[in-house]
Each structure stands twice: as structure tokens, then as C-alpha cells.
Structure 1
Amino acid sequence: MSSNLYNEEPLEWIAEAEQSGERVDKFVTDSIDDQAVSRTQVQEWIKAGAVQIDGKVAKANFKIIEGNHVVLHIPAPEEAAIVPENIPLEVIYEDSDLIVINKKRGMVVHPAPGHSSGTLVNALMYHCKDLSGINGMIRPGIVHRIDKDTTGLLMAAKNDLAHISLAEQLKDHTVTRKYIALVHGNLPHDQGTIDAPIGRDLNDRKLFTVTERNSRNAVTHFHVLERLGDYTVVELQLETGRTHQIRVHMKYIGHPLAGDPVYGRNKTVALKGQALHATLLGFTHPRSGERLEFEMPLPADFEFVLSNLRSR
């Protein structure tokens, strides 16, 4: 296998009966839990020898058979000129190891197709100068993500020591991440846990859904804060961090996020995107060992929506 491939843990899948006959590039594309990865990208990885089937390097025209063990070693990111941009950031905490910011609605976290500039990474590169290099040139410093139209707290690492520590804490579920959301309907329970695996939607690979096929475990805890007629304000705590996890889980239980253009209903609230805010972030400082916790109130547009609902 090519020497320019990552030495990190590979992604692995076992083909199921209904996937028999699929081309390997489609199989891998549908299995990856990352919207930014296109089928064209996967085809390039296959050409580079990054995909193995039952221990052998995959050929581009290979058709999947039930039981195939498919392994992807994600190639190291190609170096790209990510330009630092003087974009205002609301910094909540910063030291020589990490930075915590309050992300605004509409800001993409890192460059991706269609978003080569104006991202949080562009802003961080201007503000911080130094960021960890573990995620390569495209995602320097990025330990976790929140969606473009989700607001709130997000941390980034300035060096590899901090990145490794924060990533391990996320993996061990010792990072506290709480969100506030406005959802459709009146939840029948004041609190509960949604434990349902998430994978790509078979009908649209840009979307995610609760499924047993090529999925990853996903756990979200919820607690009702306020009931507002046909809406409910909910506090959610992530145990895992899958792509679109809260949005998918709330749709799954029949209470999609208000304003969600993808998983929700027709536009019903005055928000440009889903009513979801990362309100609390807690973790252990990678160098000092001190437990840090930050809390951020709802943004003005979210509060405005709630005020209108309360006045009805």
C-alpha cells in the first residue's frame, strides 16, 4: 500500500446481503460517516491503493459480495493553501494550548467543497497563528465540529499535545456537551435517552438516519426545559458525536428540530437553520489537568423565537 497513507486506525466494514453487487466505490462512499467525502474522492483513494477487500488491494470495478471485509486507510490530506482570514471571532477562553469560541450561525467549521473560505479554520489561522496539525492542512486544530447553522461552543487545539488529549476525552465520553433545541410537538416524557445507531441514508447519501446497516452507535440524553404549545424546549447531552446526531435522533422519535431545513418540517420559525445551540462545554485541560466548563446563553434570534412562542 502506498506510503502516503495515514497510519491512523482504518475504517472497516462487513458487507451485508443487500449490498451484494454494489461497486466498491459506492459501498465505501455510502459507508463513510462524513458528508465532505464524495464518490469521486473515494475513487481516487481506490486508485491510490487505500481500499482493501479481504486483505487485498481493491480494484475499481470490484463488485461487493456479502461477507467481504472492506478496509479503508484514509490518505493523508493533500496540502492546500488555506488562507488566514480576518474574520471576527467571539473568544470565550484562550491559552497557549487551546481556544474555545462561540460559533455564529452560518459559519462552516472547516473548508469543504463549496466552502473554501470564510470558515472557522480560516478565522482561527488568522487569530491563533499556530494550530495542531493532526488533522492535516484542511482541518488544523479541529477536534470536533458543529453544523453550519448550529450556534454555540466549540474548542480547537493549538498543538498536538492538546489535540491528542481532547480527542481522547471525546472518545472516552468525558467531555460534557449540552445543547438547547426547540423541537416540534409536545414530548410525552420529561426526560429520556435515545440509543439508536446512525448511518447514511440509503436513498440520499448526503443525509443520515437511524439504521442498523453500516452504522455507528449513537446515544443522546434529553431533558424537557419548557413546553410551548406545539413546541418543546429541550436540553440534550451528547454521549457520542455522530454527524447530525441530535437532528437525526429527534426526527427519529417524531420531534424534529424547528427550522431544520433537512430533517425538519416546512419552515415554521424565524431562523436561518435549525434551532440548536451548543450551550455548555466541559473538559479537562490537557496540560494543567484542571476541569474547565463554559456556558453560553442562547443567541438573540433563538431567544426572539422563544419570546414569540411564549406570548401566544
Structure 2
Amino acid sequence: MTHATAPGPSTPYDPPSGPIPVIHEDAHLLVVDKPHGLLSVPGRGADLADCLIARLAEDWPEVLLCHRLDRDTSGIMVFALTKAAQRKMGRLFETKRVKKRYIARVWGEVPGVEGVVDLPLIVDWPNRPLQHVNHEIGKPSVTEWKRIAIEDGTTRMALFPRTGRSHQLRVHMKALGHPILGDPFYAEGPARDFPRMMLHAEGLKFEHPIEGRMMRLEAPCPF
């Protein structure tokens, strides 16, 4: 899973306001569309207390975390409304039985129509929370990608993470030579000069942890 990252001193935390779109709700699960710029969970300090789960708890006091998205990533997130659903949903993520689809716009024109990035990742300790490729001690990290379209010198991509390392998609796209547009950590120069990071969690497919039915849920890409 992709983990939430508190903003650094160069990126003041100014979360968006407005209602959180609900994609699905039942007795066990709450699925929403997280806006970019909003932390999934609180960061350190009172100035980072505003976050998605805190806002949801105002209407669903029983809400429980199942996974996270980076602050600057938008898109679909699953929360549990019961302990049993949280436990079983967590197990689905751990055993890679949740299929994830992201949409990204990346810098440059990506050659080829599909491929796989298989590069081990680990935290770059002197520069936390950044991650980097490390073939000696990095953890296995695999991302499948498909090119959707070339758009004004950039490329729209569908990304399918097969592992869930922190910043995985962001580092893998940079390693491919095509950083995600607007990425405050891994893009440089004109690739960074965008109003938001162009990464969106568009779809999830999984078996309902309690009811057993197959769930196919989507959050429309906003860019």
C-alpha cells in the first residue's frame, strides 16, 4: 500500500475543503474518493491534525483505517466500519488480493505500450521520507504499466502495483525516466511545475471481506 506522507517545510499543509465523495457504503465498508492535498491520517503536530479519517469520523464515528494514500495522491480509499471488516480487509491487502489501478500523467513520451518495473525499494534514511532503489537491501517492488495516450509531450499511464511499497509508483516512474508530473519529491524542473501531483487511485477490485461478493469500485480521474 502507499503510505501517507506528511508535508515537508517547503510544502505547507493547506488541505482542500468541501465534502468527501462517497463511492460505496454498507454495514461493513465505507469507500470514498480522497482529494489530493489531504492527509489520510493525522501527521505530527496540531497543524497536521486535519485529515481524511478525522473528517469521516464526524459522520461515521466507528470508521477504521484499512490502507493509506499519500497526501498528494487522490482517489479511492476503503475504510472499515467494523473491527471484523478491518481485520479481514487488512488481510486482503497483505496477501495481495486487492487489485489496484492508478492513472498517472508522466513527463515525456513513454516508448512502448506496456511494461514492468521490477526494482527493489527502501527508505533513503538521510532524506526521509524519500525512497530509493537499492539492489542490495531494498524490498521487492513491482509495477506493471500500460500507456494510454501521448498528451502534449507527456504520457497518460495506467499503473498496476503488484507490491505496496511507500512511494512505489513515484520512484518507479522516475526510474523509468518519466517522473509523475507535479511530484514534489521526485520530479524536477518543468516536470514539477504543475498545480498538483498527477497520480490518482482510480480503481479497486476485491472480494468483500464479510459478504464475499466481488467488488469493483472506481473513482473518476479528475485530470
State TM-score, norm by structure 2: 0.87
C-alpha distance in 1, partners of 2:149/2:192? 17
Residues 151-179 of structure 1 show CA distances to partners (whole Å, capped at 9, x for unaligned) of 11010111221112111111221111100
Pairing of 1:243-282 with structure 2 (within 5 A) = 243-268=166-191, 271-282=194-205
Q: Which residue of 1 aligns with 2:9?
A: none
- Give 1 or 2 for the bigger CA radius of gyration: 1
Residues 216-273 of structure 1 show CA distances to partners (whole Å, capped at 9, x for unaligned) of 2111110000012421100001111111110011001111001111101224577433
Is the CA contact 1:193–1:222 (under 8 Å) kept in the aligned structure 2? yes
C-alpha distance in 1, partners of 2:215/2:101? 14
Pairing of 1:12-23 with structure 2 (within 5 A) = none
Letter in 1 for 2:166: T
Query: What runs of 5+ residues in structure 2 fail to find an aligned partner?
Result: 7-16
Is the CA contact 2:4–2:68 (under 8 Å) kept in the aligned structure 1? no
Is the CA contact 1:87–1:118 (under 8 Å) kept in the aligned structure 2? no
Letter in 2 for 1:160: K
Q: Percent of aligned positions with the same letter in both sequences?
A: 33
Which of residues 75, 94, 101 in structure 2 aligns to 1:178? 101
The answer to whether 1:146 aligns with 2:77 is no
Pairing of 1:182-197 with structure 2 (within 5 A) = 182-197=105-120
Which of residues 78, 90, 109 in structure 2 aligns to 1:167? 90
The answer to whether 1:230 aligns with 2:162 is no
Residues 183-236 of structure 1 show CA distances to partners (whole Å, capped at 9, x for unaligned) of 011112210111111101254122101113442211111000001242110000
Q: Which residue of 2 aligns with 1:49?
A: none
Letter in 1 for 2:105: L
Is the CA contact 1:149–1:272 (under 8 Å) kept in the aligned structure 2? no
C-alpha distance in 2, partners of 1:268/1:246? 16
The answer to whether 1:287 aligns with 2:214 is no
State TM-score, norm by structure 1: 0.63
Larger RCO: Structure 1 or Structure 2 (Cα < 8 Å, ≥ 6 residues apart)? 2
Equivalent residue of 1:173, what SS? Answer: coil
The answer to whether 1:95 aligns with 2:26 is yes
Report the alpha carbon displacement of residue 87 of structure 1 after superposing the two structures with TM: 6.5
Which of residues 109, 112, 129 in structure 1 aligns to 2:61? 129
Pairing of 1:18-29 with structure 2 (within 5 A) = none
Is the CA contact 1:93–1:100 (under 8 Å) kept in the aligned structure 2? yes
Is the CA contact 1:87–1:123 (under 8 Å) kept in the aligned structure 2? no
Equivalent residue of 1:124, what SS? Answer: helix
